[in-house]
Structure 1
Amino acid sequence: MSRGQDPAQGADSGSRALRWAAAAALLGALLIYNHVDASPEATAPRPAPAPTASPTPVREDPGIPQRGPALPRSAPVRLAIPSVGVDAPFTELALDGAGRLNAPPAEDGNLVGWFREGASPGERGNAIVAGHVDTTTGPAVFWPLSSLKPKEKVTITRADGIEATFTVDGVETYPKNAFPDQKVYGETEDAQLRLITCGGSYDHVARDYTANVVVFAHLDSFTWA
């Protein structure tokens, strides 16, 4: 989206919402199953020059109740969680042929992935960010994710030069065979964030963890990077 462009014109939000609904139905509890499997090589998007104008307001549908701040669509480029020492670049994630979300490449343990068919961080809806808890070489970027506490901050720098700050609402661990799809992926009236990694015990037969850790957060504020 170019700077100053009406977001209602710059992106087909209706069709994107339909794509996200379909993708969420396919994702189910399969998100981040492949905790150490390498996906195809990808590179993190490069930041755009910092904009000089205020963000274009998001056009609201008067027929749908809305709450909280929201931003136009823009890809994330860096994630920071100071309280647990996370500082990592992004790569984009997509579904594979079986409808499962590809994990970030395992060769880089300090890399997080954004599901590009969903909301972007700061945009109204659920932005899905996944990362490895470990790799074959040791702890990875989301190793400390389960230690996050409510009211701690998550900052995402976006390609449009905006730093979006999210406040943690809670951290939950769910068995992979009883994953609450609707709670994690369902539509929201505000701009929310889900950080997801593996958790529970490691099953050496399945070569995977038995659970997923999910951080729930909402957009609290934003500023220019």
Structure 2
Amino acid sequence: MERRARRSRALAAAAAGLSGVAVATLLAFQAFQGHPATAAPPMPAPAASTASGSVTPSAAPALPRSAPVRLEVPRIDVRTPLMKLAKNPDQTVETPPLSRAQEAGWYRLGAAPGSRGAAVVIGHVDTTRGPAVFYRLGELRPGDQARVLRADGRTAVFRIDSVERVGKDRFPTQRVYGDPGYAAIRLITCGGRFDRGSGHYTDNVIAFGHLVRSEGGR
């Protein structure tokens, strides 16, 4: 009997700093392929996929750490609460449960959005029922905004610098999880071609951005 869906897992080794010592931690995250009739998710345009790591953007001053509450990405109509994610016992990263596939999750063991470091937000691309929260992530373009409402009442506003499609065997671990020296954000999902033989997406789609300003506060 034919399976309606198979798991797609993107494995990456993430370097984390602990008292000045780099600790390699295996992180993983999943997305699910929907029904075979579901259209493939949008992919980044070639002009939007240029690597951004060679130029340091002019970022706004970093904010004190505060947990994120909500993410809004206007171009792709994303307005989602942010659940907290950590690691599973096997050292893979937690992912939003499929029952909440229309919500994204913040990797709370990394930087908070707006504070110094790379704040990582993960979302599913699709499920057996159709598109999930980050289905349209590949439509983002440099210059687009991502806004994160934080628990301290401030809104951290990020400018997207690049949107890149990368093979899972070439996952840019340091660029995603490493501290770039300013307040940054990374939005991640699965993408590329869906390999029906293996049941996996071949790539990841990653949006890189930096803090441009903060609004509000109390």
Normalized against structure 1, the TM-score is what? 0.73
Give the whole-Å Cα distance in 2 for the aligned partners of 1:107 and 1:204. Answer: 24
CA distance in 1, matches of 2:111, 2:167: 25
Task: Work out the CA distance in 1 between the residues paired with 2:176 and 2:138.
Answer: 16
- Aligned equivalents of 1:76, 1:20: Cα separation in 2: 26
Q: Match for 2:60 among 60, 64, 68?
A: 68
Task: Read off the aligned partner of 2:69 and give its amino acid letter.
Answer: V
Paired with 1:101 and 1:178, the residues of 2 have a C-alpha distance of 18
Report the structure, 1 or 2, having the larger helix content.
Answer: 1
Look up the equivalent residue of 2:128 and give its one-letter code. T
- 2:31 equivalent among 35, 42, 45: 35
Q: Kindly tell me: are residues 21 and 142 of structure 1, through their superposed partners in 2, closer, same or farther at Cα, counting changes over 3 Å? A: farther
TM-score (norm 2): 0.75
For 1:31, give the aligned amino acid: A
In the other structure, the counterpart of 1:99 is: 91
Structure 2 residues without counterparts, runs of 5 or longer: 1-15, 34-57
Structure 1: give runs of 5+ residues left out of the alignment. Answer: 1-15, 38-65
- Is 2:76 aligned against 1:81? no
Runs of 4+ in 1 over 2 A off after TM superposition: 19-23, 203-208
State the SS of the aligned residue for 1:31. Answer: strand
Equivalents in 2 of 1:147, 1:158: separation in Å?
25
Conserved in 1, the CA contact under 8 Å of 2:59 and 2:211?
no
Q: How does 1:1-225 map to 2 (within 5 A)?
A: 17-18=17-18, 25-27=24-26, 30-32=27-29, 34-36=30-32, 68-224=60-216
Percent sequence identity is 45
Higher strand share: 2
User: How far off is 1:188 after superposition?
Assistant: 1.3
- AA partner of residue 203 (structure 2): A
Pick which of 119-128 and 97-106 moved more: 97-106
Tell which deviates more after alignment, 95-104 or 147-156: 95-104
CA deviations on 1:188-216 (whole Å, 9 max, x unpaired) are 11000000000111123432211100000
Deviation by residue 1:157-187 (Cα, 9 ceiling, x = unmatched) = 0111111100000000111111111122222
- Secondary structure of the residue aligned to 1:211 is strand
Q: How many residues align?
A: 178
Name the Cα RMSD after superposition. 2.3
Q: 1:69 to 1:95 in 2, by over 3 A?
A: same
| Higher RCO (C-alpha 8 Å, min separation 6) | 2
